[in-house]
Structure 1
């Protein structure tokens, strides 16, 4: 696991584990120390659930992380969205159906479809 230092308008921050893993997944933790502009320290989980779900689906079908997947169908898109919903519910079992609908709308089927095929194309916390 590597550690990198970055700077934004609030001052320096660190990213731990910010490279792709050998299995193609991406998880990272951003650590923000207190500064004159940032009065409190904190962290952000920068894991990318949608990207990881897409990459896992492609990997199961023998398609590389950066390879296009022109054979992807609507069934593939549905499978990715189904797994994404399950991951959301695993994370937050109180997530309402309207919140799930909003997440899926934000993701957008066209966007997912394009990403599954290899083209460039809010979480639920009960808040």
Structure 2
């Protein structure tokens, strides 16, 4: 195998891009995919039932933000320096909230606000020293 580094540096295969420190952790990609599927299903349910519960009303916006969930999580990760564990715990908080209030749906008008709030709370618990 041809390498581009010396003996004291990590081996890099010629022709491969070096890993970047700012790369998005895979767990964020997975969480964003799961959240997008959840929102799509809940949007469909909201149309079928003509609305949703009032317990998440404080998080509703007038319209859905133009930024995707994946890009939103990337921005939070990039600018807040939260550990990937905060995003996992934040997702768990949203899941618990959805189970506690089954009549309320996580939809496109509230998902971004729920995400930033839950990640912030998880960061305070996990990352603050």
Rg bigger for which structure? 2
Q: Which has the higher strand share?
A: 1
TM-score in terms of structure 2 length: 0.28
Q: Which has the higher contact order (CA 8 A, sep 6+)?
A: 2
